[in-house]
Amino acid sequence: MSETPARSIAKAVTWQVLGLAVMTLINWSVTGSVAKGGMIAALGAGCGLFTYVLHERAWAQVDWGRRASHERTHQQQPHQDWAAENH
């Protein structure tokens, strides 16, 4: 079962909102200021986004752990192989 792009985006947005809320609460408890806590959380999210993109681009250059395209196609539908073997 695959996921639509809209679902992926919705999940990413809700995850980011949850992360910002949690980090704001943590930083608020440390600083005593919601504004400072929120600012630190927002800066952390921005830095995280930037470093994530760099991390993904670096991994895009690494071939280790990738399957050849014909193997990938076969691996994407294991449920069909199982169904054919068991019916």
Q: pLDDT band for position 7 (50/70/90)? A: very high
The reported pLDDT for the residue numbered 39 is 96
pTM value > 0.75: no
Give the per-residue pLDDT at 3: 86
Cα distance between residue 81 and residue 62, in whole Å: 30
pLDDT one-digit tens code per residue, 15-46: 999 999 999 999 999 999 999 999 999 999 99
pLDDT (0 to 100) of residue 28: 97
d(CA 67, CA 71): 6
**For residue range 43-73, what is the model confidence (pLDDT) as tens digits?**
999 999 899 999 999 999 999 998 887 665 5
In the chain, where the domains are located? 5-85
